[in-house]
């Protein structure tokens, strides 16, 4: 999985991050580092991880050598990339580079752990829209680098009728009948047997079983019996995802993959060069 660094949202996120950090200039670097000095930066993994976002270095620096790619599983001590250029540029962009690599690799690492937990069940793990504002495309790419399947990118690319839609529309049937004009397959979130049966009767393409126990979900998956795709969500963690996978849904979605990922430890050492 490589990052699409040509994506406008990706390029905009990098530009915003650089502008936010640099502001009117790096007064520390400019005051103590010669303008004509050159250096090499080496990015090193300080722990085991699934790497994500290393391709962004091409948007941040001029001379980049990638030694690993997004989706690679690396161990502590492995070198990820080398960057050469003006010492001042390497110093002023070091924190932005690490912020992206550490955050995105944290997402990919957690995503890969979810995928590992359900191995052998045939269940596919999905991410959600519970992403950092402004970083959705990047975090979705990181989740995919970890092996999960991206769910909808936003409200514009899929129909997902949730509990609040059902309440405001006046029931599952009314919500689905209105949503058919979109021309897209319809997924419906359900919480009761009655809602499951109504969604099936109305021809839902996918039924989202929300906030059920693994045993409850297994019963509903059996009732649905492949008449629609099934997805389980609500409170999914690394500790319980395997139990939910044993219910044999088609998909399990977890917001934790993005909203609860912990940044990994990556070091950037910068060394002088003689040019």
Enzyme catalytic residues:
95, 130, 162, 189, 210
| Cβ–Cβ < 8 Å for 163, 187 | no
Q: Helix, strand or coil for residue 66?
A: strand
Handedness of CA 177, 178, 180, 186 (dihedral sign): negative
Q: What is the DSSP string of 169-226?
A: HTSHHHHHHHHGGG-S-EEEEE-SHHHHHHHHHTT-SEEEEES--HHHHHHHHHHHTT
Q: Which two tokens stand for residue 64?
A: 């980049």
- Start-to-end CA distance of the chain, whole Å, equals 35
């Amino acid at each position: 999985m490589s990052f699409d660094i040509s994506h406008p949202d990706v390029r905009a996120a990098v530009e915003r991050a650089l502008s936010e950090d640099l502001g009117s200039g790096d007064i520390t670097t400019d005051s103590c580092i010669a303008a004509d000095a050159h250096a090499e930066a080496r990015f090193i993994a300080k722990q085991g991880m699934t790497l994500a976002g290393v391709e962004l270095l091409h948007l941040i620096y001029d001379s980049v050598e990638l030694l690993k790619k997004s989706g690679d599983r690396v161990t502590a001590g492995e070198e990820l990339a080398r960057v050469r250029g003006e010492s001042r540029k390497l110093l002023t962009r070091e924190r932005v580079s690490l912020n992206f690599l550490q955050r995105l690799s944290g997402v990919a690492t957690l995503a890969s752990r979810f995928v590992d937990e359900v191995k052998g069940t045939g269940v596919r793990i999905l991410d959600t829209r519970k992403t950092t504002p402004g970083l959705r495309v990047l975090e979705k790419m990181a989740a995919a680098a970890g092996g999960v399947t991206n769910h909808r990118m936003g409200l514009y690319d899929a129909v997902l009728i949730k509990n609040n839609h059902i309440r405001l529309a006046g029931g599952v049937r009314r919500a689905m009948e209105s949503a058919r004009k979109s021309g897209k397959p319809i997924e419906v979130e359900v919480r009761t047997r009655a809602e499951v049966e109504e969604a099936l009767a109305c021809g839902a393409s996918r039924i989202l079983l929300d906030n059920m126990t693994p045993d409850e979900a297994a019963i509903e998956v059996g009732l649905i019996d492949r008449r629609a795709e099934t997805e389980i969500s609500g409170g999914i963690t690394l500790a319980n995802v395997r139990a939910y996978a044993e219910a044999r849904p088609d998909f399990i979605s977890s917001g934790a993959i993005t909203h609860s990922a912990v940044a990994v430890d990556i070091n950037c050492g910068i060394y002088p060069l003689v040019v």
